[in-house]
Structures are given as C-alpha cells and as structure tokens.
A = this chain, B = another copy of it.
Amino acid sequence: MSVSVTCIAPVNIAIIKYWGKRDDDLILPINDSISVTLSTDHLRTKTTITAGPEIAKNVLRLNGVDESFDNPRIQRCLQEVKSLAKASGKCPKPEMLEWNINVESENNFPTAAGLASSAAGYACFVYTLATLYGIESEELSKIARMGSGSACRSLHSGYVQWARGERPDGLDSLAIQLAPASAWPDMHVLILVVSDRKKATASTHGMATSVKTSDLIKHRASVCVPERIKLVQKAIAEQDFDTFGRIAMKDSNQFHAICLDTYPPCFYLNDVSRSIIRMVDQINTLAGLNAPVKVAYSFDAGPNACLFLLEKDVAEVSAIVRRVFPFTDSSAEEYYKGIPNDETAMQAVPPTVLDSFAVEEPNLLRYIIHTKVGEGPKRVG
C-alpha cells in the first residue's frame, strides 16, 4: 500500500559566494551567487521517501542516525511541497498527501567534512518529495531555498545563478541554470579535504553575525558582487578560464575577509588552507606573472579547498599536489577518490617543475576527490 521514491542530488560549490541574509525567515540573500554543480558520480545525497497510511509518524534518518522531524526547516519544506502538490492537482494518489512519511537520507561523503552537505540534503529532500507527489515546478527552487539557502542551486546541473531578488516575499529569489555541464566539458575539480581538529562556526550563525557587525559586507554585496556576477557570467559563456579562475579566487578571499571583519571574527581557513593557497599561487606564477591562471581555489565555510582546472592541466596539478601534500596514514585508494589518476601523464611532469615546490609535513590532507561538473537531481533505482 505504501509508495516509495529514491532520488539523488548533487553538491554545489559557489564561485561567487552567498554570505548574509536580507530575510532570515524566508532565507533571502543580500547578494546574487553563482555556483558549480559537482558530479553525483562522486559526491551526492541519496534520499528515499516512503509514504504510507500505516506509518504512525514522520521519521527522519540521516546517515543511519534518527533525527528529529521537528526541525522547522524540514517541516516547512514538507508543508510547502504538499501545498504545491494539492494546488497542482497532479498527485497520482491524492490521499498520499495525508499519509506520514519515512525519510532515509545518506551522503556518500563525510557530512563533517564541510562539503555543502546541507545544500545537497535539502535539495534531495525537496526533489524526492516532489517526485513522490508527482509534481515538477520551478517553485521547488524557492522551497529548497527555505530549507538551506544554497540548496536551491543544487536543483540544477552545470553552472547556476541564485538571484538575490527584490521582492520582500522572495518569489523572485530563484536559482536558474546559466550553462549546462556539457557546455564546458574540460572543466575538472579537485577537492582537497583538510585534516582539521577545530569545529568551525556554523554558517547560519556566522553570516548573521557578519550582517550585524561587518562594516565591509554592505560594500561587498552592493558594489563588488554585482560586478563580479557579470564577469563570471561572461567567463562561463565564453569558457574564459583565466577570468573564471581569478574571480573565483578573489571572491573566495573576499568572503573569508568578510568573516574576519565580523566581530567576533569567524575563521574557516586554517594553516593548511593557506598552504594550499600558496601552492596554487606558485603554480599560477610558474608560467609568468601575467600568464593565464591554470588552477583556481575556492573555500566554503570550512578549511577544504575546491580547485578548478582544465583537463590539460590535471596531470601537472595533481603531480604537484602529490608532492606538496604527501600521505603516510592512508593507502592510495583511500587518499585518491573519484576519477582515477592518469599515472603516465603524472610521471611525465618534469622533475624541475616538481622540485620547485616545498614539501609540507605528511597527512595534512585527509583525501582528495577528483570530479567534474555534473548533473542535477534525478530519480534512481
């Protein structure tokens, strides 16, 4: 009698960062953001929702652990999807909308790693619910956004822009696709997951404190971001990696600058993050100070780096990362995840290039995920 649907949804990494809400309740941002959706082959949330008249109460399990369904954001997403389904009249079994649900959700990457798990999680929850109730709607963007702001970006594949919007009710604050993943097929991503002892400030709390105390955040939101949005849109349209990479790095830096201009300051980068930034900077200056950038970093609210690079530079950059960040605590299988290394190409990187990089102490990284830009949520199984 019960009905069950399983879907997966991707992680996304912002190139122009979302930091600061203009409405805490509706989760409306103070500035537009642009993100890249990562391949679900390597990073994804998978959610199964079962609805049935025999289910005594709503149940939520995340990564095998029972969680409270009383979370107001979960409740709100559920109510909003149900209302939409009712209004649409498309639900194949309208009685389902009265049944309780059982939600099982799991990530194939460590939640603790600070890899935008809440974005993928809420996107997957909303998308799976909508699939269960038989609806497809642009309004899912707005519902996912009320779960976790950046979740609306995980509903699309490829390159995505989430508009700030002007309306107080947030109806124009939606995520739209700028370009599909296939538009820039040689874009690769290396995620460097950093070993870290310290628990960072939760991003909801951090951004609220920034909006209240940073003297620079308004200037960022009103002057810097609008200029950068235009530049990144154009760079994506023209596949101009140099501009894309430079703005990505500058915006990551500016986001962390705003965190530091907050009182008390919030810190997400640590000494290992800084070593990664220095390494990237050295790679980019190897070819000359004004040469196009080969690799760009972006850091979310945590110490892990997301490196963007083109296929032609993957072997060289991977070989340099392997030299700078040696590992002894893990096997190569545990250390390298995702797309396999091209050992032949990596061995061909000239020793003179590698030797110019200083070697850090071992095991500063937990592991590396090699992935690409990818697709949005979909039903599976």
Contact = CB atoms under 8 A, between A and B. Distances in A.
Contact of A224 (B216, B254, B267): B216
Count copies of this chain in the complex. 2
Taking chain A's interface residues, is the majority helix, strand, or loop, or is none over half, making it mixed? helix
Interface string A300-339: 0000000000000000000000000000000000000000
Nearest to A271: B271
Contact of A257 (B258, B264, B274): B258
A219 to B, nearest CB: 4
Q: Which of A220, A254, A256 has the most CB of B within 10 A?
A: A254
A215 B222 CA distance: 12
Given A224-B215, A270-B271, A281 B257 contact: no
A199 B253 CA distance: 20
A250 interface: yes
A357 interface: no
Interface string A247-291: 001100110111011111101001100100100010000000000
Contacts of A220: 215-216
A267 B256 CA distance: 12
A246 B263 CA distance: 9
Contacts of A271: 270-271
Interface in A209-223: 213, 215-216, 219-220, 223
A270 B262 CA distance: 17
B253 A263 contact: yes
Interface string A226-262: 0000000000000000000010011001101110111
Contact of A263 (B250, B261, B263, B267): B250
A261 B254 contact: yes
Contacts of A219: 216, 219, 223
7 contacts: A216-B224, A219-B219, A253-B265, A257-B257, A257-B258, A257-B260, A257-B261
Nearest to A274: B267
Nearest to A250: B263
Nearest to A263: B250
Contacts of A223: 215, 219
B253 A277 contact: no
A220 B215 CA distance: 8
A260 B253 contact: yes
A203 to B, nearest CB: 17
Q: Which of A249, A253, A277 has the most CB of B within 10 A?
A: A253
A263 B228 CA distance: 15
A250 B215 CA distance: 9
Nearest to A215: B224
A235 to B, nearest CB: 16
A260 B256 contact: yes
Contacts of A262: 253
A205 to B, nearest CB: 13
A370 to B, nearest CB: 24
Contact of A277 (B246, B254, B264): B264
Leading 5 A-B pairs by shortest Cβ distance: A257-B261, A257-B257, A257-B260, A219-B219, A264-B281
Contacts of A250: 213, 215, 261, 263
A265 B253 CA distance: 7
A246 B254 CA distance: 23
A339 to B, nearest CB: 28
